[in-house]
Amino acid sequence: MSAITAIFYRTGKNIEPEIIDQMTTKLSHRGPDDSGVWCEGPMGLGHQMLWTTPESVNEKLPFFEEDTGLVITADARIDNRNELSKLLGVEDHDNIPDTYFILRAYEKWKEKCPEYLLGDFAFVIWDPNDETLFCARDHMGVKPFYYYLSDNLFVCASELKAFFDIPQIKLKLNEEKIGLFLMEIEDNKSTFYKNIYSLTPAHSVIITKDQNKFRKYWELDPDLEISLNSEDEYIATFLKIFEESINCRLRSEFSIGFDLSGGLDSSSIVCMVKHLITKQAIKLKKINTFSFVSSKSKNNSEYNYIKKVTNMDNIVPNFIPNDTIGLLKDFKTILDYQDQPFYSPFLVNMWNLCKKIHENEVRIQLRGTGGDAVISYGTFYFRELAVNFKWIKLMNEIRNYSKITKSNSFQIILDIIFSLIPDKIKNLGTSNKERRPGTTILEKEFAKKIDAEQILNRLFWEPVSEANSYKKYHHFIINRFSDLYELEEMDNIFAKHNIEPRYPFLDKRLIEFCYSLPTDMKVKFGWSRYILRIAMDGILPQEIQWRPFKAEANNIYQNNFLINEKKEIERIINEKSEIIANYVNLEKIQTIQKKFNQGIYNNNLLYIWLVTQLSLWLQYIKLDDEY
């Protein structure tokens, strides 16, 4: 979890070393092991080093290569070193850092080099021979990459705070982002600051004095399909890829930890590692797990599922209470590292989790994030069967599903009928009260100013309406991947505590394989995520393997935030309402808050969280213009 910075004066002006040094120092918390800057002419690069892999310990960045003149700074872990070694003629030794493979790949394939890389990366390469700057971000956006681009200047960094003291960059409020935030639309490009952007995952950019070229170097092929001879072949192929997606993320010079929530995804990762240890495929001596549990009772369901895993040999469990603090505790400190409002209330608990991981001298944590999207989840398949008049198969799937989930078959049929109504018409969410983005929380004139309805249609309703088959729906959720915003938010929390999170389910190879599967390997006999469940037979405890749902965390957040912080919320929404009056429908939010005080809880409570922290952020932030 290192940090990168870069400044390029497109006018040819010489770089001021103190500016790139100041930018890099601002991100020193991301890399306490080493730091460096490199400046020459109009270009400056910076780096803060966090040692993670064996190869990183002796690495110095930015790296200037005398033979070619190329200079690189990177926050990267390359997982296909062995493959690249053969393609590039580079020996795969511990004294060869990952950035050397990136440099050789760039030298050989130029702007196409990210197409050959597997892993998590954000890097910048300066080529003085033609005064070209090349930047790239990994396929799923695990590594952060923010940038500012004008006719005169290009700046990039791992965190937003690196931009705050650059004289040429005026910090101005991005009001459209406020609208997106309050509508719960997670785009993957904009930030709360005008003209400062997040580089879209699977994209690269070439910057010269007078040109800039953004390029999407990878996208999931919507027509990708795989056809094998039997279910056993699908299982064997899945296991091979899943094992490799985990194994390549175990490369570390330091202790490794594992997220363990009791759900299918994190438990599968932990149990697969245990399986690999048992068959002596890896040399890991112990498995450090970190889990949230209720402090009030260890007889809750999640704790019981977690114990099914931690009772195995070689597993060392660590438990962190998730219901003992209000969500505004440490909020200012967390916001100092986030630099902008964040969606997930979960981040406050993550702060305490990272403290615990850091105390255990763990620098790497494998997490189950992305499993729902990649393996596939949900009952959209029922809709597809109904649309294609496959009534017998539909009724069999409904019968199995209702038995598994102990739900009412008639209600499931009603849900299917409701799902067939055009989304723009129903606009109230699904019949199970799933939240959908909307404009009702926005102040009316503000909604008109940013054209909120058009944004809502372009970024949400139109893509949803195009997902009219189960395969298209799977493609939609992988590409939309709502966890992407969560990745960027959590990255700042992990970085503060010198921890690198790694995500096996976001392995490009696993994504492509799972997407290409026939539908009956994704949903079968009423079970969603079928391939993972059946493949983990004999590896994962059956109670977790065939667990239909994981417990919702909403009640915890409701207690932590809305109950424990009730007085502060009331003060912010009522007494400090002038701060948010230009953006928020005060009557609407005050009504929601009053209902909560009366004990009426519903999905609209998330609006209170969003409005509360937006108000606090607007009080804290220092901008160069009036908001």
> Which pLDDT score, from 0 to 100, does residue 627 have?
43
pLDDT (average), residues 217-224: 96
> Which pLDDT score, from 0 to 100, does residue 561 have?
62
> Which pLDDT score, from 0 to 100, does residue 556 have?
63
Q: Residue 350: name the closest of 371, 374, 376, 327 by CA.
A: 327
Residue 184: burial class (beta carbons within 10 Å; 0-12, 13-18, 19+): middle
> Which pLDDT score, from 0 to 100, does residue 621 have?
87
pLDDT single digits (tens) 558-606: 666 666 777 788 888 887 788 899 999 999 998 888 887 777 666 677 8
Which residue did the predictor score with more confidence, 606 or 298?
A: 606
Cα separation of 593 and 615, whole Å?
15
How many other CB atoms are found less than 10 A from the CB of residue 176? 17
Residue 42: burial class (beta carbons within 10 Å; 0-12, 13-18, 19+): buried
pLDDT (average), residues 174-187: 91
CA–CA distance from 141 to each of 38, 278, 294 (Å)?
26, 33, 32
Q: What is the 3-state secondary structure (H, E, C) of 328-342?
A: CCCHHHHHHHHCCCC
Instruction: Give the strands of the sheet with 132-137, arranged side by side.
Output: 63-64, 71-78, 119-127, 132-137, 203-207, 212-216
Cα separation of 296 and 353, whole Å?
18
The yes-or-no verdict on residue 287 having pLDDT over 80 is yes
pLDDT (average), residues 293-302: 69
> Which pLDDT score, from 0 to 100, does residue 148 have?
98
pLDDT single digits (tens) 384-397: 888 888 889 888 88
Could you tell me if 250 and 280 are in contact, meaning their C-beta atoms sit under 8 angstroms apart? no
221 is in an annotated binding site: no
Which residue did the predictor score with more confidence, 497 or 557?
A: 497
Using the structure block, give the residue that is written with the tokens 């930030």: 191
Could you tell me if 118 and 168 are in contact, meaning their C-beta atoms sit under 8 angstroms apart? no
> Which pLDDT score, from 0 to 100, does residue 432 have?
38
Highest mean pLDDT of the ranges 422-436, 530-544, 607-621: 530-544
Q: Is the dihedral of CA 231, 237, 243, 245 positive or negative?
A: negative
How many other CB atoms are found less than 10 A from the CB of residue 280? 7
Percent of the chain with pLDDT over 90: 63
What's the distance, CA 579 to chain centroid? 30
> Which pLDDT score, from 0 to 100, does residue 322 have?
80
How many other CB atoms are found less than 10 A from the CB of residue 10? 20
With a CB cutoff of 8 Å and minimum separation 6, the contacts of 481 are 140, 370, 373
pLDDT (average), residues 518-535: 94
pLDDT (average), residues 324-343: 82
pLDDT single digits (tens) 405-462: 888 887 888 877 776 666 555 554 443 344 456 788 999 999 999 999 998 888 777 7
pLDDT (average), residues 27-53: 97
The yes-or-no verdict on residue 301 having pLDDT over 80 is no
Write down the mean pLDDT value for the chain.
89
pLDDT (average), residues 174-201: 92
Give the domain 3-216 fold. Glutamine Phosphoribosylpyrophosphate, subunit 1, domain 1 (3.60.20)
> Which pLDDT score, from 0 to 100, does residue 308 have?
95
With a CB cutoff of 8 Å and minimum separation 6, the contacts of 584 are 182, 441, 442, 443, 611, 614
Which residue did the predictor score with more confidence, 431 or 475?
A: 475
Which residue did the predictor score with more confidence, 103 or 571?
A: 103
Tell me if residue 293 falls in helix, strand or coil.
strand
> Which pLDDT score, from 0 to 100, does residue 169 have?
95
CATH of 231-370+485-545, one of 3.40.640.10, 3.40.50.620, 3.90.1150.10, 3.50.50.60: 3.40.50.620
Which residue did the predictor score with more confidence, 325 or 4?
A: 4
Could you tell me if 367 and 266 are in contact, meaning their C-beta atoms sit under 8 angstroms apart? yes
| 98-107, 179-188, 241-250: least confidently modelled range | 179-188
| 117-121, 133-137, 185-189: least confidently modelled range | 185-189
Cα separation of 441 and 182, whole Å?
7
As given in the structure block, the two tokens for residue 474 are 């799977």
Tell me if residue 558 falls in helix, strand or coil.
helix
pLDDT (average), residues 129-145: 96
Percent of the chain with pLDDT over 70: 91
Which residue did the predictor score with more confidence, 588 or 463?
A: 588
The yes-or-no verdict on residue 479 having pLDDT over 90 is no
Taking the domains of the chain in order of start, what are their residue ranges? 3-216, 231-370+485-545, 385-440+460-480, 565-620
Quickly state the pLDDT bin for 175 (edges 50, 70, 90). very high
> Which pLDDT score, from 0 to 100, does residue 624 have?
80
Using the structure block, give the residue that is written with the tokens 């499931």: 412
pLDDT single digits (tens) 306-327: 999 999 998 999 999 887 666 7
> Which pLDDT score, from 0 to 100, does residue 558 have?
61
> Which pLDDT score, from 0 to 100, does residue 544 have?
95
> Which pLDDT score, from 0 to 100, does residue 383 have?
82
> Which pLDDT score, from 0 to 100, does residue 122 have?
98
The yes-or-no verdict on residue 514 having pLDDT over 70 is yes
Could you tell me if 504 and 269 are in contact, meaning their C-beta atoms sit under 8 angstroms apart? yes
Could you tell me if 452 and 183 are in contact, meaning their C-beta atoms sit under 8 angstroms apart? yes
> Which pLDDT score, from 0 to 100, does residue 343 have?
83
> Which pLDDT score, from 0 to 100, does residue 370 have?
92
